[in-house]
Amino acid sequence: MGKITFFEEKNFQGRCYNCSSDCADLHSYFSRCNSVRVEAGVWVLYERPGYTGYQYVLTPGEYGDSQQWMAFSDSVKSCRAVKNVYGNVWKLRLYERPDFGGRVVEFTEDCPSVYDAFRFGEVSSCAVSHGAWVFYQLPAYRGRQYFLERGEYRQHADWGAATPGVGSFRRITEF
């Protein structure tokens, strides 16, 4: 079971809210979020209610400032615990074109630069067969984050991206 605490101010100050399950609308518990303590589990925080907007994947640890989880603002309006991160098998297939077309590569490890590894300019679809993953908009695990769990993603919009640019990705593991 996961446990996460949200704080309105930096460095774990101000009003706080403890959470141990998915929550589609956090706005009644706090107005802004500037620090987070993840005591157990892996969590996806969303900028808007209903699990929409920017996504931030947090593993156990203390995040005294929203910049530590690469936040674009102090808005956290929904969250969910990541399931199926326990285990030792990860596998995904990346496709150059939508609907699983074009060149394909299969990967089982973290990748700091999609372009350097595969010479793909874009990742337009993917299939996750094992584990949970985070796609990053830019190389070196920077930029917007997108959470992907087991399943098929026929186009980049299926994982929440506005464009098919994936700069890097990594496996989600329980620390």
Query: Could you tell me which residues come within 8 angstroms of residue 97 by beta carbon, excluding any fewer than 6 positions away?
Result: 124, 125
Q: Please write the tens of the pLDDT for every residue from 52-99.
A: 999 999 999 999 999 999 898 999 999 999 876 667 889 999 999 999
According to the model, what pLDDT value does residue 35 have?
Answer: 97
d(CA 33, CA 158): 27
According to the model, what pLDDT value does residue 14 have?
Answer: 95
Residues 2-30 have a mean pLDDT of 96
Confidence of residue 2 (pLDDT cuts 50, 70, 90): confident
- Whether 91-171 and 3-81 are alike in CATH topology: the answer is yes
Q: Please write the tens of the pLDDT for every residue from 95-141.
A: 999 999 999 999 999 999 999 998 877 899 999 999 999 999 999 99
CA 30 from chain centre, in angstroms, equals: 22
Q: Which residue has the higher pLDDT, 175 or 75?
A: 75
| Segments making up each domain of the chain, as ranges | 3-81, 91-171
Q: What three-state secondary structure class fits 140?
A: coil
Choose which CATH entry (2.60.20.10, 2.160.10.10, 1.10.3720.10, 2.60.34.10) describes domain 3-81: 2.60.20.10
According to the model, what pLDDT value does residue 18 have?
Answer: 97
Asked if 84 and 41 count as a contact pair (C-beta separation under 8 A), the reply is no
Is it the case that residue 175 has pLDDT exceeding 70? no
CATH 3.40.640.10 fits 91-171, yes or no: no
> Quick one: the chain helix, strand, coil %, rounded to 5?
10, 45, 40
Residues 38-59 have a mean pLDDT of 93
Residue 88, burial from CB neighbour count under 10 angstroms (0-12, 13-18, 19+): exposed
According to the model, what pLDDT value does residue 31 have?
Answer: 93
According to the model, what pLDDT value does residue 85 have?
Answer: 62
The pTM of this model reads: 0.84
